[in-house]
A and B are shown apart, each in its own frame.
Chain A
């Protein structure tokens, strides 16, 4: 495109559109996360989870749907790195990629089974509050024939997007429990990360 030309080439036009789209998308990542936004994220995620629970699909199909929700609303790479603990430091980029992928499928299968038992139940988002450098979105899980219990989702924008990085049921953190689990798996396999990845893939 010459300097004095007021015509815009097709390529330039496309580039402008892309830039414009990027600018429009910016506020989401550029402005600090707020209580309202953290709550909105989990409102959406809970609505999708409730829809899956009441879908009447097979467990395998529900697990695939849960995995989609997890990937969409959760910061899975960070969760995987945290669950892996110190071993993450010595892992190669390729190992981290396959571990993250396998971990995602494993989480969906493991917690999908639990959520699958929720049939007829649902998750109601109550409120959100700042906690340290992130937000805690508090919800209540109501299951048929059981007393309701507290579920919290921890939301942060540190990844560049609003995403949850932990789910806490009656004080029990998914991340902490999985750190124990993955640590136990590593110990059993002599610290062999590839063996852990294979076994996680087998679960999902």
Chain B
């Protein structure tokens, strides 16, 4: 008995490895293939080959979809939590802020760290990006960072002057070379200089301009290496100086051996020496360091904190700014998602946005509400049309179907612009209504640049997505069912409602899913006819992508929209059942 039912599928599909596998599973004794290997293993091999072949066939499409669709979406969604810009560009500040209590003004150490980070960031021209990022969380930071970027290279100027006054050698790039550069780098650089000189000589000897150009020496200077001795004795100076050398080499394509160091390097040297470091320094410049160590206690002091507050901008005294920097110092953040829910992350935890800036929840609600309204108006208009199409003789219904499809094939922009002409206050519809005397000339209806406009235009644009699945389902409902109902005494309405309608529900389901999911992410039509009250969340996403450049927030809003659609799809599956949906 069991055997006969097991072979039943074979009757339809023939002897496949799958079916043989099932047979082998059920067999009581181990079955063996003709060559003596257990049947199971030999079948497994055959099955694997078959699966690989199938995989190879779909591989081009799979790879295409992964590379062009899934990967970019995943990358975009990942931006909604990514936040490494602060920790990467302000590493010293983030570390120094660990000891901050969150209430008072941060101490001198924090300002020193910020000064060093910002000098480097502004040389790399990253400071405005940091400012823009933090500005998403607290308005005003962007301008603060821009202004600070303009003045920050004066930090440490006072020490630079004093060191140079002490010994003019401090002004010489070569002094800094002996102090900071690793011996190996100096050797490498000498070799590079020799190569460059040789190449130049060869170029001079060249006869034509083209030949000379071909001999261009374009190897860059070897990357700077800091000496271990300096890193140990003067850690801050060494760290800033290596940043200086890196920026000079990569950004300006110059050599640190020929450029005067930034003021912040002198600031760091002062910090190192005044903290008593550099004592055991025994390098070539030992005498210079020793002299400087003795002189430093008599130096005129200038606190970096005072410099920030007095010279740059008193806004740096605002602890909220520091709270924001600290709150967003992690490489990953929930900040974008919080903003998308009208909340914000502050140093004191999560708070509601100020009332004037709460818009996202309202926009999500509006998007859902309007998508539902569009969906229901599509049912109301589409159902009778589909009913008519499926019940008319073929020739007439084909003609009508073309009328449905024609706008469907017309450019979206053309259709939307046509609605502008029809709906505006001096437009066709208002003109006709005034002419008919339905409304007065002074009280023309506002049908566009508001929610009404969006709902009308989008209902029209999405209507074919409702009519087509409905039509294809209604086409398959045998007309004699309704006739039978009527012959059994049902009224027209009962026959329709009890017999016909239930059979058309799968078409309604398919149409609803299509229309609702399409409209929830619609962008271009609301943008053109929605004004300010008829726009969707997608218009906000577009705004953040192309205008405000807040891609993280755009990604968070997009992720939420995606999740909402998936949840609704799941609910629909549970309530109606996705198997009941028929697309034709």
Same complex: no
Which residues of A are interface residues toward B (Cβ below 8 A)? none
